[in-house]
């Protein structure tokens, strides 16, 4: 068995890449198949994922659009009650942030709404592969009265504080135990992707042929309690590996405990991070949760001192 400390990483690198490379990098956490990432692997991976309906992967990239449109077009759009979008009225139009999934599903539900058409046509012109099965290039009979611009991340970072808080999405990868992830996933506005004990078979070479556990912060390493915890993990690992000889990972995992190491990506806007920190760094929160959330909050506070104080 392997024992590791919990950790987290703000995924700045993914912000620099394309949408599709971001989706692949996040999606592969479920299978722990990051070693399969090559120059040409992103597109086929994402297409397959979309076909299979593994929809949460398509939530892992958001796009912010600036729309110049009329107030009637805004009213028609808001009449659709768009779900899972961040929408703000700005001068002469709207600021809209949504994930690829949100845009796909909006178009499926409201293909006749001109503002929806304008946004999805705009995305489709450069990223048609992300809208496959949902959208096709259409001749709309003339020039649209709606101007659409994609905001770069740098432009989003320059927004006024209220808009920055709402439109800046930040993803963080945590390596923590499964008790912590069980609590994190209660934060409903977030998107999540997590290492799957159904797909990962921990007797494989890439996992070191063993189960990895998170060091419990509750017990000092030389304490009697730590020795008991370690015995329990050794026993459970032994049973899991025996079960794998005749059973699938999803069956064998039924003996795995909360202490199992897992990886999870949490993706949400800064407003939701603020809410999470308020709940998960307080003395009432679970100590293993505070172990990662307190330093993460400090790091994000340094980046956005005017928003997190």
Ligand X SMILES: Cc1cc2nc3c(=O)[nH]c(=O)nc-3n(C[C@H](O)[C@H](O)[C@H](O)COP(=O)(O)OP(=O)(O)OC[C@H]3O[C@@H](n4cnc5c(N)ncnc54)[C@H](O)[C@@H]3O)c2cc1C
Binding site for ligand X (CB under 6 A): 186-189, 275, 279, 284-285
Give the span between the Cα atoms of 80 and 120, in whole angstroms: 15
Known catalytic residues are: 280
Residue 93 CB, shortest distance to ligand X, in Å, is: 26
According to DSSP, the residues that pair with 260 across neighbouring strands are 213
Residue 285 CB, shortest distance to ligand X, in Å, is: 5
Residue with tokens 């120059």, as numbered in its chain: 39
With respect to ligand X, which residue has the nearer C-beta, 84 or 207? Answer: 84
Nearest Cα to Cα of residue 153 among 78, 49, 64, 52: 64
Residue 275 CB, shortest distance to ligand X, in Å, is: 5
Residues in contact with 195: Cβ distance below 8 Å, sequence separation at least 6, in sequence order:
29, 30, 32, 262, 263, 264
Q: Which residue is nearest to ligand X (CB)?
A: 187
With respect to ligand X, which residue has the nearer C-beta, 19 or 265? Answer: 265
With respect to ligand X, which residue has the nearer C-beta, 198 or 278? Answer: 278
With respect to ligand X, which residue has the nearer C-beta, 111 or 189? Answer: 189
Residue 288 CB, shortest distance to ligand X, in Å, is: 13
Give the span between the Cα atoms of 93 and 75, in whole angstroms: 11
- Note whether 85 and 124 are within 8 A (CB): no
With respect to ligand X, which residue has the nearer C-beta, 134 or 279? Answer: 279
Residues in contact with 273: Cβ distance below 8 Å, sequence separation at least 6, in sequence order:
170, 300
**The tokens of 216 are what?**
């419990």
User: Which secondary structure element, helix H or strand E, spans residue 121, and what is its range?
Assistant: helix 114-127
DSSP secondary structure, 4-33, as one string: E--EEEE-HHHHHS-HHHHHHHHHTTTTT-
**Given CA atoms 26, 32, 33, 37 in this order, what sign does their dihedral have?**
positive
């Amino acid at each position: 068995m392997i024992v590791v400390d919990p950790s987290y990483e703000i995924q700045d690198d993914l912000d620099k890449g394309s949408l599709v490379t971001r989706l692949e990098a996040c999606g592969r956490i479920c299978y722990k198949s990051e070693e399969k990432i090559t120059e040409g692997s992103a597109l086929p991976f994402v297409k397959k994922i979309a076909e299979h309906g593994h929809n949460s992967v398509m939530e892992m990239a958001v796009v912010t659009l600036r729309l110049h449109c009329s107030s009637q077009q805004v009213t028609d759009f808001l009449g659709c009650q768009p779900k899972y979008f961040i929408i703000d009225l700005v001068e002469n139009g709207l600021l809209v942030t949504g994930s690829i999934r949100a845009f796909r599903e909006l178009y499926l539900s409201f293909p006749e709404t001109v503002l929806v058409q304008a946004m999805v046509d705009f995305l489709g012109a450069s990223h048609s592969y992300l809208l496959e099965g949902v959208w096709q290039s259409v001749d709309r009979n003339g020039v649209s009265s709606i101007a659409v611009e994609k905001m770069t991340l740098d432009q989003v970072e320059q927004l006024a504080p209220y808009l920055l808080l709402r439109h800046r999405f930040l993803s963080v990868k945590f390596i923590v135990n499964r008790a912590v992830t069980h609590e994190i996933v209660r934060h409903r506005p977030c998107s999540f992707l997590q290492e799957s004990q159904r797909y990962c078979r921990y007797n494989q070479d890439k996992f070191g042929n063993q189960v990895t556990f998170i060091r419990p912060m509750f017990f000092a390493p030389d304490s009697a309690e730590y020795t008991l915890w370690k015995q329990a993990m050794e026993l459970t690992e032994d049973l899991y590996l025996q079960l794998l000889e005749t059973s699938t990972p999803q069956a064998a995992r039924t003996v795995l405990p909360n202490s199992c190491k897992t990886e999870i990506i949490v993706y949400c806007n800064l407003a939701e991070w603020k809410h999470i920190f308020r709940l998960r760094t307080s003395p009432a929160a679970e100590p293993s949760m505070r172990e990662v959330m307190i330093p993460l909050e400090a790091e994000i506070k340094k980046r956005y001192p005017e928003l997190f104080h």
